[in-house]
Amino acid sequence: MTDRKKRRDAIVVTALLACVAVVGFWHVMAVWSGRPFRLYELTAEDFAGFQPQSPTWSIRPRPVVSNPTEPNIVAYALRPRAASAADSGGEASSPAPILVRLVHGYNMRDCMRLRRFEVELIVEGRGSRVGGRGRESEVRSQESEVRSQNSAFGDLGPGGSLPVQVWRLTSPTGDRSIWITSMIRAGDFSATDVDVRSMAFPRVGALNDPGWAPQGVTRETLRHPIRDLRRILIAKWNGARHDVATFLKLKQPVWASEELLTLVSAYEGPSVERDQESGVAQRVLAAHALMYGQFRKWRVQDLGGQDGRR
């Protein structure tokens, strides 16, 4: 056997061993990335002693689904009390409720886009102009309205204001609603300037057709292999949160954040017309700030009690 043949055989053996090592490593990492997700540390049980109250709002708890794909913690439905109904929008009998949810940090916009909603940012709570529709004076008037209805608003953070993002959501059937989001720290519930869209879960670029679902190799996929391969890659890329290592199954997909929480308030009334948006936004903002003040006060007291017991 010549030296040349020996070197060639050594190269082939080395390449085969390298391929086996790569496949073995990928298999181990794929199994590891497919392990069950650990449970969230902050759960609804931690809020057993939380009982929000308000003289102007009726506050009732709502049941929520809580799991890695639905990272809700607690939810409350708020309605203006009868005495303040006329001042909060004009409904005479039963004003539409505002649903306020505390959720492990997630990307509300992309979550609702996955559900085929059109999601538009109207204004940000710091008064910046967004998309040509935000008005600084409107945001300031909303914050002033909140301060008049909620004495705790001055404790919401630096400058006496809670950073908020106000959204217009349009359902697949054309119904419009107003939602408001804020990102807060899980430790002490203090306010942050974090944009809810920066959360990794979920992360959506292109959307597939609403009626499509991966079904493996079928006669239909063989008829349109390029189209369906593109759909599969889009679904997997979105599921990987646009991360190459996750796409290759080298690490577990990112789920909702443990360090940050998303406070989400949504109007649950009839479809909102454009000329009603400002009034509805003021009402949602009032409920949003009220609940944040209640959450923040309770959390600070809870942490103080824990420190006192140590």
Across 43-52, 161-170, 235-244, least confident range: 235-244
The burial of 113, by beta-carbon neighbours within 10 Å (0-12 exposed, 13-18 middle, 19 or more buried), is given as middle
Residue 33 pLDDT exceeds 70: no
Q: 122, 181 in Cβ contact below 8 A?
A: no
Least Cα distance to 145 among 265, 266, 290 occurs for: 290
Angle of helix 277-309 versus helix 136-149 axis, rounded to 10: 50
Give the pLDDT confidence score for residue 252 in this predicted structure. 74
N- to C-terminal Cα separation, the chain: 77
Neighbour count for residue 49 (Cβ, 10 Å):
9
Q: Which residue has the higher pLDDT, 158 or 124?
A: 124
Q: What is the mean pLDDT of residues 33-39?
A: 66
Write the pLDDT tens digit of every residue in 217-237: 666 666 667 767 776 777 776
Residue 38 pLDDT exceeds 80: no
Give the pLDDT confidence score for residue 222 in this predicted structure. 63
Across 6-15, 128-137, 190-199, 279-288, least confident range: 128-137
* Chain position carrying tokens 């959720």: 103
**For 21, how many CA atoms within 13 A lie in the half-sphere containing its CB?**
6
Q: What is the mean pLDDT of residues 47-53?
A: 92
Give the pLDDT confidence score for residue 210 in this predicted structure. 64
